Structure 1
């Protein structure tokens, strides 16, 4: 009877501590776990092959833009500065106004010089016409001189005949010595008058030749030209155009759309021609230079799509672009002190080559970037 109660605690202890699982159940659990791991691995491999295979990325990328350096093309004192740093401007907006008093004086002087050149051309053309008229008048004078010479020759011939007749009559006593003397004097006078007439013809011809040379010289100044094409007039007009251009340049306008930065000009400051006064960054035309390792560029081609993100907007804003070019050399090749690898103490360092990425203009208008911002760039080398 004393041994019967001891059997009850043994049965209760058996209920509190169940028997461990069998080896078959443990093996089944490990098999299920292995299958799950394999499925996850296959799914990850498929996802990577579909979405990530052929993609190269870098976080060494920076926003750039072909900034416009605004310089003054004329010297003078600044009277107005109409923009400030960080201000958006449109192409053609007035940025700076320079005192134009000197430019206005130069413009008025150039206008007067043009009118003077035109007037001088008119005088030269008139002189050419006058010279031609003089040549024609000298021809009439030559005709008159030759007529006088003809008359003088006739007079010489008449007085010669009269002198010969008197000489014959003196021998017969029909004419007196006084008549002979008068006839000889008339003949000598006629001969002298003929000499003067001949000299008059020669002088008239010489005068006509001189007038002809003057006419040729005057016509040479205007031959083949008009008041618009004459050299002096053209030179004066060019000076007037330059004066107008200099006057127009006293108002400095924005060459492109963009943001004003690095403004270096103040009202009252006297600036010299060629001095930089500010920079305009055309953020609407920003691009990205992504520095990829040379080992990443094996399959990168121009035209391939690029996805980019910036810390400026976060991962929620994704920019899309295209590869448009490769730099002509690595960053180290164009550094201030290029690496010298010919010393023998050479250790290979993977180089980076800048890749130019052009961004979508619509995305840039929606989310403007600034020059110098860092970007994360991913190129899909399978895309075209």
Structure 2
């Protein structure tokens, strides 16, 4: 073969190699565009979604835990509710031995009746002293008239001087007797004037003692101040309890909220009134609770710990602190999907609207929680005391 028939070096492989390089550049460009698109999408997602919300899974369901305690000392004779049971406001949950309280109530009842009768007696005595004052005035008038008749006779020497002296002594004696009767009447009227029998200070004092004894007797039946579910029952039959001793806890599961512990670096955009989404581990992703930010804690959790950290030391290490944010829950959802105190949750707060305040305003004008079961006791005690007073007034028999 001649040299003219031999192909030039590299002339047969250039075309395939250039084709492969073109395909490789196309693939790299496509991959680069995909990464750029992903980056742009991630940035837009962060800008319009992730940066507009704050998320934490350090959040737990919280609620009121009403501790039921005895108001009077006594021995437990019955326990009428147990853990997990539903109770209503005013329902009797624990009974104490009523013997001592009943005896005290009987004494107070007798003392109140006796006080009413004593005031009636004092009123009659005041009228009696008034009559005595009138009698002493008549005696003084007679003595003065007798002296006036005898003095002219003394000038005519018709009577002895001793008779005039005796008449003067009689006038002085009558004046002293009138003064004594007047003072006795004033002292008697000081106890009864200005009020009727039912409003007399002695009767009111006996009535207060009766109310106290009546309420103590009623408090041997320990009632639930609010409706809810019983938990942490520690009271047992036969136990001797003292006022203030914890017997059991009542948890109203219709009034719960979530305490979301956000990092201090997450609080910058959280405002009161912002909407929140709450996912509870109990229901997982099947149920999403609607919530709202109602307040931010006044301090970090470590500040209120039993042993606060001493950061002013040479071994100080910075730790990111957390502040509780209270999330109110929808009552209708709570009724449909009941929760328990202490359940774990994940909270997402939508921070798009940042116009709300960071701190709560003036205190609420309505009570956070209240009960009227004890006020009803006082009303019953007053009614029975009035009945005792009326039974011992004139004309009651």
TM-score, L = length of structure 2: 0.79
Match of 1:315, SS? helix
Q: Displacement of 1:366 after TM fit?
A: 1.3
**Contact conserved, 1:57 with 1:376, CA < 8 A, in 2?**
yes
Equivalent residue, structure 2, for 1:278:
248
Aligned match of 2:162: 192
Partner of 1:305: 275
1:126 matched to 2:124: yes
Partner of 2:367: none
**Could you list the per-position Cα deviations for residues 147-199 of structure 1 after superposition, in whole angstroms to 9, with x for gaps in the alignment?**
332343455456x36xxxxxxxxxxxxxxxxxxxxxxxxx5xx4332322222
What's the secondary structure of 2:303's corresponding residue?
coil
Tell me the SS of whatever aligns to 2:293.
strand
| Deviation digits for residues 117-146 of structure 1 (CA, Å, limit 9, x no counterpart) | 111111111111111111111111112222
Counterpart pick for 1:216 among 186, 191, 197? 186
* TM superposition shift of 1:59: 1.1
Q: Aligned pair 1:82/2:52, yes or no?
A: no
2:112 aligned partner = 114
SS of equivalent residue, structure 1 residue 362: helix
Correspondence for 1:363: 333
Secondary structure of the equivalent of 2:291?
strand
2:102 corresponds to which of 86, 101, 104: 104
**Does 2:314 match 1:344?**
yes
Work out the number of aligned pairs and report it.
Answer: 338
1:312-357 alpha-carbon deviations (Å, 9 max, x no partner): 1112111121111122211122222222222233222211111111
1:142·1:204 contact (CA, 8 Å) conserved in 2?
A: yes
Structure 1 residues 150 and 347: alpha-carbon distance in aligned structure 2, compared to 1, 3 A threshold: closer
Residue 36 of structure 1: CA displacement? Answer: 4.9
For 2:363, the equivalent position in structure 1 comes to none
Distance 1:321 1:27 in 2: 52
Structure with larger Rg: 1
Q: Given that residues 90 and 257 in structure 1 are in contact (C-alpha distance below 8 angstroms), is that contact kept between their aligned partners in structure 2?
A: yes
What is the SS of the residue equivalent to 1:371? Answer: coil
In the other structure, the counterpart of 2:175 is 205
The answer for the alignment partner of 1:243 in structure 2 is: 213
> In structure 2, how many angstroms separate the alpha carbons of the residues matched to 1:199 and 1:147?
13
Which residue does the alignment assign to 2:365? none
Equivalent-residue separation in structure 2 for 1:295 and 1:157 (angstroms): 118
C-alpha separation in 2, matches of 1:383 and 1:256: 37
Partner Cα separation in structure 2 for residue 59 and residue 301 of structure 1: 19
Query: 1:140 aligned to 2:110?
Result: no
Greater mean deviation of Cα atoms: 21-30 or 194-203: 21-30
Matched, 1:65 2:100: no
Structure 2 unaligned residues grouped into runs of 5+: 1-15, 355-397
**TM-score of the superposition, structure 1-length normalised?**
0.81
Gaps of 5+ in 1: 1-18, 162-186
Question: Could you tell me how far apart the structure 2 residues matched to 1:280 and 1:145 are?
Answer: 82
- 1:138 match: secondary structure: helix
